[in-house]
Chain A
Amino acid sequence: MSRWVSFGCAILLLSLFLHASFSALEYQWNWESALRYKKKFADGWIATLWISALSLFFAFLIGSLVTLCNRVRFLPVRYLSMIYVELTRGTPLLVQIFFFFYVVADAAGIQNRYVVGIAIMAIFSGAYISEILRAGIEGVGESQLLSAKAIGFTEYQTFRYVILPQALRSSLPALAGQTANLIKDSSLLSVIAISEFTLNAQEVNAITYSSFESFFPLAFGYLILTLPIMRLSRSIENRLRFET
């Protein structure tokens, strides 16, 4: 069977499943009321786009910095970054959002919730990114380090020309996944009334009592953001592919 036919079959089965599930409900579909609020959806989507992009940028900075700190000889710095990573990865994002916004930011006098929201997402994702990078770095074979030693590279040169390129390549799928996670996790910022995509969809739902008519565009909107990232990552991986 050609690929398109198989793909079509898969979509057909999925649609049948969805249709069967929904026809079991006595639900009156109310698309007009949701459509009335399309500006709300659009505004929220753009807000999520900006928040995700900025958080992602800073998350990579933080993640890279922390990965480097993990290898530093000065132990207090190393322990500090380890504690940061363990705490951040081990506690719920919701708790971190409340803590950072209502305690830390309040004490520091930072009022702008968007700034704090971006900072929270960056700090949260940074921990995961640093672990991904760390695994990538440690995954570079011993023989590579031996080679670098034999040709007289310094530690810095070894890191820059041998470890880093290979680590980045092998981390790429996990990094793409983490990016998609960040975009979706940003929906939790709604609890501090940041007017992003999820909150806006929830508001439309609250006003019009049409849950599915609000949540399907929500899911679709997130897909538009995450799918290209996965595709981009795939194509980069293919271009840089080599067997080790």
Chain B
Amino acid sequence: MKLELESVVKTYGTQRALDSLDLTIEDTMCIALIGPSGGGKSTTLRLLAGLESPTSGTIRIDGNEIAHEYWQLREYRQRVGVVFQAFNLFPHFDAITNIALPLEKVHGYSRGKSLEKAGMLLDQFQLTNHRFKKPAELSGGQSQRVAIARAIAPDPDIVFLDEPTSALDPEMTAEVLEAIETLIESKKKLLIATHQMGFAKHAADTVAIIAEGKLVEVGNSSQVIDYPRTARAQKFLKAYLKF
């Protein structure tokens, strides 16, 4: 996966979430975006996932510019998967339908095949006994695993995860991180925004620190986290390094 963000600006009304962000990452499988809350890492992730368009600037993934036009952008979204912090499952469908419905309606699978694939994924994430439960009946960890299954069901090119464990307690966090690890092991391209430094260091290849809407530092994960070069990065990682 190759990422190129050139002079990307994103404003919401008067608020400047990304302030001319420049970021280039060559040839990597798993990228972690870290940084302070409100610093712009979620915004960056959303722009990369095609959920929003930048106010100005260009974004290229694997050499191809992400389009701004409605239909092309929608096509792009169909080729990537997104997992949100708040799970964002559909509460009126059970787990298996949450996964199967996009397969059937968006990717053209037959009803049978979509249910089959959904079932397989649920087995893979140890959720076989929960397949007919509605999200309200699932724990946070289980819901997030369903969300991950939903995201990877259509075999997306890239999977984006926006702080997937921030709403979970340590036990459930571990569950979900394990699930994400299996994704990485199966050679899926991943981009994850997270506060879990340990996970970022061990699971990701590249780490980028984004704060105040700008890129602070980027590089190999262990290097950036253990030996931050810029003062801003050092300030941010001080807390982690301390504890």
Contact = CB atoms under 8 A, between A and B. Distances in A.
A/B touching: CB–CB < 8 A: yes
Interface of A: 143-144, 146-147, 149-154, 157, 161-162, 165-166, 169, 240, 242-244
B74 A147 contact: no
B88 A147 contact: yes
Given A143-B86, A166-B92, 5 more contacts: A143-B88, A147-B90, A150-B51, A242-B91, A242-B136
Nearest to A157: B105
Contact of A153 (B91, B105, B135, B150): B105
Contact of B136 (A152, A157, A165, A243): A243
A151 to B, nearest CB: 4
Contacts of A157: 105-106
Given A149-B77, A150-B49, A144 B88 contact: yes
Interface of B: 49, 51, 74-75, 77-78, 81-82, 84, 86, 88-92, 101-102, 105-106, 134-136, 150
Contacts of B82: 150-151
Given A143-B84, A149-B77, A152-B77, A242 B134 contact: yes
A146 B84 contact: yes
A147 B81 CA distance: 10
B152 to A, nearest CB: 12
B17 to A, nearest CB: 16
Contacts of B101: 161
A38 to B, nearest CB: 47
B160 to A, nearest CB: 9
A162 B134 CA distance: 14
A22 B89 CA distance: 58
B53 to A, nearest CB: 12
Nearest to B85: A143
Contact of A166 (B74, B88, B91): B91
A152 B106 contact: yes
A146 B49 CA distance: 12
Contacts of A150: 49, 51, 77, 81-82, 84, 88
A160 to B, nearest CB: 9
Contacts of A165: 92
Nearest to A241: B136
Contact of B102 (A144, A152, A243): A152
Contacts of A151: 77-78, 82, 102, 106, 150
Contacts of B135: 242
Contacts of A153: 102, 105-106
A149 B51 contact: yes
B150 to A, nearest CB: 7
B74 A152 contact: yes
Contact of B89 (A147, A154, A161): A147
B106 A146 contact: no
A147 B84 contact: yes
